A and B are shown apart, each in its own frame.
Chain A
């Protein structure tokens, strides 16, 4: 069966520090991968998506970047965090047909202080 792992679960970082959140998927190949951010009490906003290795598309301009160095690995990064980067970050994968919807990771709560 397919599983998705996301870490760390919680992170407190000072303003100006770098960020690296990692997400890996097991049990499938060539998944579509996604990074979402959820602000407190609000819905989910798509940040990045990837349909293959090295293929990254950004949905909104921001202080973050994403990379996909391997087929089942998706990384969210920042060189210098801002206070506004605080939030709950969710990684997700789907098959190309989306017949089964998205499967989400357990999320990372990021607090920038």
Chain B
């Protein structure tokens, strides 16, 4: 079964600095999608960035970028120039195709990011 592991329950970063959140996954598929979601205190789930496994180029969205290592099954998120508004729980997720049709996102347990002045 596909699993997603986030080994860092909490991380801290100074404002304007860079932080990297780790994520590893286990799969036997060759084509899949990976996502990072942000959940601020409001608990709204917000899509941060996605990566298609067939693309070698790492995805980038403004200050957010990923380091996708397909062979190592690693998908880390880098946040540059951290801002107070980046403080949130971050979830890594893997897209699984369901036998009954549709898709399922399997989530990691999350990393709580604190941003300090």
Contacts and interface: CB of A to CB of B under 8 A. Distances in A.
Contacts of A113: none
Interface string B84-117: 0000000100010010111111111110000000
B19 to A, nearest CB: 20
B102 A104 contact: no
Contacts of B35: 101-102
A104 to B, nearest CB: 4
A57 B103 CA distance: 12
Interface residues of A, number: 27
A44 B107 contact: yes
Interface residues of B, number: 22
Contacts of B91: 43-44
What is the interface of chain A mostly: helix, strand, loop, or mixed? strand
Contacts of A32: 102-103
Given A43-B109, A55-B100, A106-B42, 11 more contacts: A38-B43, A42-B109, A43-B108, A43-B110, A49-B100, A51-B102, A96-B102, A98-B33, A102-B45, A102-B47, A103-B47
Interface of B: 33, 35, 42-45, 47, 50, 91, 95, 98, 100-110
Interface of A: 32, 34, 38, 42-44, 46, 49-51, 55, 57, 59, 88, 90, 92, 94, 96, 98, 100-104, 106-107, 109
